[in-house]
Structure formats: C-alpha cells, structure tokens
Structure 1
Amino acid sequence: MLSMISFVKRNDIANAQGLYAVRLRICKERQRRYFSLNIFADNEYWDEKNECFRILKNVRDIKQKEENEQRKRYNYLLNCYRLRAQEIIEGFQRENIDWTLNQFADAFLNKSKQGKIKVYMENHIKTLRETGHIGNANCYAATLNMLEHYDSRLDQKTFSEIDIKFVNGFDVFLQKRGCKGNTRKYYFKALRSILNKAILEKEATEKTYPFGKAGFQIEKLTEETEKRYLPVEYLNKIKNTVSEKPQREYARKLFLLSYYCYGISFIDMAYLRRNNIVKFNGGEYIVYKRHKIQHQKGVKPIKIKITKEIEHLLDSLNKNNPTVDDFIVPIVSISGYTGEKLYNHIRGRYKKYNGYLAELAEELQITDMKLTTYVSRHTMAMMLQRNDISREQISQMLGHADMKTTNTYLDSFDTTVIDEAAKVLYDV
C-alpha cells in the first residue's frame, strides 16, 4: 500500500550528468500526483526503502566529502518538504476539507488563491468573455454577485464547503430577497454547472456535491410562467394597423418579422448578416444557429424560407432605418462594434425595443397582457399547435436543443381550447 507522502526517484529519464530526479509523491484515494523538487540522485547513493540519500562515514577524499555534504543538504530539504506536506494535509483535516490533489498542489506550490470557488468562477467568467460567450459570462457573474451577498467570506470558501447545507442556506437567502422559483433556478443552474466543471477538472470532489438524486432538487423550483401568446384578434391588430409613431411602427415590423421567422429572438435577429442568406431549393433562406446555444454539441441550424411577407418587412425596415456593416436587420446602429461591445450594444437596443412595444400595445389597446419580445415567439409556437403541427416540427422551428423545452412552451393549453373541451360537460 502506497504511503500518502513519499519520495521516489525516477528511473526512466536522466539529466546531462546521468542523475535522476527525486520527486514528492502525494497519494489520495488511488490517485497520485508528483512534484518536482530540483533534487537529483543516482542509483548508488539513493536509499529507496528509506526514501533518502545514503550518507558515507569516514570520508577522506575532498570530492567525496563535498558530494557527501550535498547529500546531507538534500536529506535536510527532503525532511522539510515532508513536514510541509504533512502540515498542509493536517490543515485540510482541521478545517474538515475533503481536499483534492489539485488543492494540495495549490497549497504546496504557494498558489493559495486557486482551488477556491470565487477565483475559479472569476477565471471562468473571464474566459467566457474572451471567447465571445457574453450571455453566459453575465449569467455566471450575476450568480457570483448573489453568492457574495449571501456569504461575505466567499473568497475563502473551497469547493468542498459548497455542500448541501450551504446550498439550502443560499435558497433561504434568495427567498427572503423575494426571488421566485424561476429566478432561484437561474442561480442554482449556474452554480451546479460550475461545480460540475470543477469536478471534471479535478478541482473539486463529488463527496460534498450538493445536487443530484439525494441532494438539492433544482427542477422543483420551476414555476409555470404567465402565458405570453396573443389571441388571434390581437395578432390581427398588429398585422393590419400601421402605427402613428415611427418608433412604434419600427417595433411593430420587428415583431412581425420575428413571428414570420419562426419566432426568431431579438438577439438572433440582430446578429443576422448577409452570409446568413443562402440560396437553395429554388429560393432564398435565412440560415442561422441560435446565439445562446450555437456552441453546444449537435445544434442544428434553423432554415427559414424568405417569403414575400418577410422580404417586404426587411425592405420596409431598411428603407426607414439603414443597416450598418453587413447586418440585414436594422438593429445594430453603430458600425465597427465586435465582441462584448457589440453584445452590450444589442442589449441596449433590446431594452428600447421592449419600450416601443409597450407603447404600441397601449396604442392598439392591448391592455390585458404585456407585449414583449418573447410574445412573438410564443404566439408563433401556439399558432402552429392550434393548427395541428407536430411538436417535433415546432421544436425544430424554434431551434430548441431538446423536446423538454418545447413541451414547457406548449403543455398549458390556451383558454379557448379548455373552454371548448368544457362544453362536453353540458352536452351529456
């Protein structure tokens, strides 16, 4: 059985002097990790059993004396390294930390900031921003900010301390702040994703993992959201009523463009460029991947045939609001933006668009529901379902990664369907 702390000499690779590196080996739960110490030995003077250098007695030769003294110094260093390793492990044990080999390495190599959840999340957020995943970066940043509000000592927390007790306390904290189930779900999904990533990268252990079959159940937080699809009469109002104000008319046309383009989101509309228009099957198509899941494995592109209605809306929008660069929908209004700057610009335009939609709803006397960017998407999906289009086809048109999301959209029937079904009760 291997000792938790030991020193071993390599036997495969020698340096220029024909000596082999002596390394510190740390073992835990059948896993091991080696640490270079800048100490070298040969077979003659290395005591494998006692894990130290052999010291000669009664040495008279000057060169041998010097080499003997060097081996004594090496033994002293090995003893210091052993004590240091023991102190680190004992420190973990005192704090009831189920440490990983990576956490030991952080402590042994004086990288004390690593192996802790806050720094790990900050590094992940930075990577996401640098690779253009701005939406995901913002999600993790919001979660980290909320965790810091919950725990003022989060910068000292290691992964093993993010256990079921911590998670339950965080949930109570969010409830006291007035967060509803879906908002709490948003934070917990981000936290779970970070822990899963850390476990995969050996930064965390599964022993204190707070989610899973016997742990905190995130899906139980799901709340049915208010229905966000338009009755037919409201949809016809938007189709047939030209607004008196240019900003509202701009919003009306964007809303209809989204509706006809299979409920394309505002963000995805904003990112559409000339190269997203492709010719095949005797016509032109808008072909794109949803921005929020474009990097996920197996995501298929959405293909939207450009009909006369879509073509007319694009021409009309561009006539009054010229596009910049090679965008095809006039949402981005400043040329040259890329990366996070472009994303933030689009988010700013998104807020203005929702404001214009609110004004349009008031003008058209749509008073019993809030008109937002999501309404066109939900209305399109519900209209397809009312006309007996299969859920598999609807899911493909929406660009959902799985049917579960589509079913969430469609599982609750609108009141007209329920009302018709209820007539059976009176026809008996």
Structure 2
Amino acid sequence: MSETIKVLCYKSKKLSNGEHPLMVCVCKDGKRKYQSLGISVKAEWWDFKANLPKGKCPNRERIILLINEKINEIQKAALDKRIAGKDFTAATLIESTSSKDSSHKTVGEYYLTYIQNLKKEKRIRYAGMLEVSYNSFIKFNRHLDIPFSDIDVAWLKKYELWMKGQNLSVSTISTRIRHLRAVFNLAITEHSIKNDCYPFHTYKVSKLNRQTPKRAITKKDVMKIMRYQGKSDMECLAINVFVFSYLNAGINFIDIAKLKHSNIVESHLIYNREKTKKLINVPLQTKALEIIAKYQSDKSPYLFPILSPFHQTEVQVANRLHKVLAKVNKHLKEIGERLNLPIPLTTYVARHSYATVLKRAGVSTSIISESLGHSSERVTQIYLDSFDNEQINSAMKYLL
C-alpha cells in the first residue's frame, strides 16, 4: 500500500505565541505518524481545506517551500527504500528523515524551545527575560518564522536603530541582542546552522556595552547614602540593601534576598551566586553585621525581609523578587535625587561602586576588576575564587 504525505496545521496544540505548529503527517497501512515541520502559523492564516497557508499569511512563500521540500524528502526516502527492497512503516519513514529536520528549524522555533528549557530548569526569571526579548523581536519583524541566515549584520543594525527610536536604553538593547545571540549559539551547538551563518563575528554586542552610561559613584557619595536616615521601612530596606551589596563584593539583589542564616560562617558570608553558581566567600564587616541584626527574626530563615516561608514555588519567588526590587529601586532613585547624586541610584550601582572604589584605592585588578557584571563578571569571580581570604580581607578595608 502506498503512503500518503501531507502537512497539517496542528490546531489541537497552541504555542505560547498563539500559533499552531505545522506537522508532517505520514499515513501507511492505516497507521499515522506525525513530525513537527519546525514552524508555526496562526489559525486564521491557514487554509484547512487546501492544507496551505492563505494568501496573506506572513512568509507564505517560504512556508510553502519548506512544506514541499519536506514532502519531497520523505517521498525520496520512500522511493529509496522500495528500490532497495526494504519494508518500512510510517514511523520508520519519518525516522529516516528526522536527522535532517533540525536544519529546518526557524529562529522562532529555537527561541521558544530555549525558553521552555529554561522553565524546565526552574530558571523562571531568566526565562521571563527571554520572553520579553522574544516579543520585542516579534514586534520588530512581525514574526520569527525565518531561517537563521536571514538575521545578518544589516538586520541587527536595523533592530538596534528601531530600539533606539523607542528611546530604550543601550543596556536594554544589548541585553535583548545577547539573548538572540544565545539562541544562535544553541543552534550552532546542535549543528543546526553553520558557523559562517553567525552574524556576531562581525556585529559585536560589546560595542553597545561601551556606550553604557556610568554606573558607579564615589566613596564620598556612598557615605552620604550610609548616613541617610530612611523615613519608612521600605526606604530603610532600600538603603540597607544598597549598603550591604557595596560592603559584600557587590552581591546582587537576588542573592541578597535568598541569603539565610546558614550562609554566615565565622563572620564570613559564604554563598553560591544564583547566576554563575560560583562560590563566594567574603568577610562580613561590622556595618554589614549591624544590618543583618536589624532584620533577625525567628519566624524566617532569611537574613532580609524580602522572601519568607510563604514563597515556596519558583513562580512565587520570582514574582516577589520582581515586586520588591521595583520598590527598592524606586526608593533608591528618590534618595539619590535628594542627595544630588550624579547618576540614578539603583542596586546595580552598588556593584559597580564596590569595584570602582577598590580600583581607585590601588587594589590589584587581579583581585577585583573595574566592572562587576557584563562580559568581565565571570573573570572577576574566577579571580575572587582563586585568592585566599587574607588577600580579600586586606582589599575590603578600602571600602570604608
């Protein structure tokens, strides 16, 4: 019995972008086998009688081309098996062509797969950031049902200009393009695209980072923040989070929120960074210990009143961190304006200020680099891990 091969819009499955995947359906001997074509469309763009995209469907020509290529590929595989006198089923026919399927995956398909994998790894916050970036690219290009080769240097520059036209910061543009670069890296790792298809050899995301505004303040300005008397519990928390970060190797907000009493060992703060999983060990100065003492409570295992035993699921934790960080940064900005600081104050300013103050005091760049975060953050953490506590203790004295 001859086989039938067609491509269907799989309406029973809806992706997070509101589209439905296109599935190859092979039917032989009364049995069916389905396989994703690697692209998706919205239901209103699909002609379910003709099993083809409608005339106004975005990227219609390329979708039809991929459909025809896949059908021809399976037909050829079936013919080859007949010529060789081999029996086959719908399933084995699909399997014989599946090794080539990844090359048909679009940027959008890879992007959504990456986001789903992050959620499975419980990296909820980072997955959320990728979703924001994904929606930005969709808004710019209308869709991402395009091959990786369509995204070249010219495309990236157009996106960069489009983002600047919306008055978005260089930091935001850099972050979103780095997310896209991560999707490219995933495709290369899985051998779905060739290295010569990689636009980031020429388009350097680092050039955007060099345009990032100054994010550090002087030791004198840090002291102004330390002396500032908060007028509410949230304002006091904002100040204490900033000061604690500054005094403890620029620890970021998420890591501060997740600190527990078990992270204090012999007057040292020891924890694994949420982002890099690196083990950090820094001495707790008197001021840092005073801040911890203010929030000590038998009702919560956390050092700061940001998370509580109530926040158990990854989603609850992510929502709580997002909400409190927004409030903390709002208060810090207002405090910075009252103190006439040269730049908008955020928790991230504490990270950069920590590094800058030590650098200006003559501390070796082998112990602490000028920037904590961005491209040099991993190098900084490696250096911090490689020196003994005595060297770190000696360097920390320059902070106050």
Normalising TM by the smaller chain, what interval? 0.5 to 0.7
Q: Which residue in the other structure is 1:305 paired with?
A: 283
Matched, 1:285 2:243: no
Equivalent residue of 1:401, what SS? helix
Q: Which residue in the other structure is 1:366 paired with?
A: 340
Measured in 1, the distance between the counterparts of 2:299 and 2:138 equals: 40
Structure 1 residue aligned with 2:223, among 233, 236, 239? 236
1:360 to 1:334, Cα distance in 2 relative to 1, 3 A: farther
Measured in 2, the distance between the counterparts of 1:395 and 1:145 equals: 34
Q: Which residue in the other structure is 1:161 paired with?
A: 150
Cα drift, residue 183 of structure 1: 3.0
Alignment coverage as a number of residue pairs:
303
Structure 2 residue aligned with 1:315, among 288, 293, 301? 293
Q: Deviations over 1:164-211 (max 9, x none)?
A: 454344334334334454433222221121112112112223343322
Q: Which residue in the other structure is 2:363 paired with?
A: 389
1:146 to 1:240, Cα distance in 2 relative to 1, 3 A: closer
Q: Which amino acid aligns with 1:348?
A: K
1:38 to 1:244, Cα distance in 2 relative to 1, 3 A: closer
Equivalent residue of 1:380, what SS? helix
Cα drift, residue 381 of structure 1: 1.7
Q: Which residue in the other structure is 1:142 paired with?
A: 132
Measured in 2, the distance between the counterparts of 1:378 and 1:397 equals: 6
Query: Which structure 2 residues correspond to residues 132-211 of structure 1 after superposition, within 5 A?
Result: 132-154=122-144, 156-211=145-200
Equivalent residue of 2:378, what SS? coil
Q: Which amino acid aligns with 1:350?
A: L
Which blocks of at least 5 consecutive residues in structure 1 are unaligned? 1-33, 40-46, 54-70, 89-99, 107-114, 295-299, 407-428
Q: Which residue in the other structure is 1:261 paired with?
A: 248
Matched, 1:354 2:324: no
Q: Deviations over 1:121-151 (max 9, x none)?
A: 1121011022122333133212211111122
Measured in 1, the distance between the counterparts of 2:363 and 2:346 equals: 24
Cα drift, residue 103 of structure 1: 4.0
CA contact (8 A) 2:337 2:344 kept: no
Cα drift, residue 350 of structure 1: 0.5
Q: TM-score, with normalisation over the residues of structure 1? A: 0.61
Q: Which residue in the other structure is 2:314 paired with?
A: 339
Measured in 1, the distance between the counterparts of 2:179 and 2:378 equals: 18
1:378 to 1:161, Cα distance in 2 relative to 1, 3 A: closer
Which blocks of at least 5 consecutive residues in structure 2 are unaligned? 1-72, 384-400
1:305 to 1:221, Cα distance in 2 relative to 1, 3 A: closer
Cα RMSD of the aligned pairs, angstroms, is: 3.9
Cα drift, residue 357 of structure 1: 1.8
Measured in 2, the distance between the counterparts of 1:146 and 1:307 equals: 43
Equivalent residue of 2:362, what SS? coil
Q: Which amino acid aligns with 2:321?
A: I
Measured in 1, the distance between the counterparts of 2:106 and 2:285 equals: 54
Measured in 2, the distance between the counterparts of 1:229 and 1:166 equals: 33
Measured in 2, the distance between the counterparts of 1:261 and 1:120 equals: 38
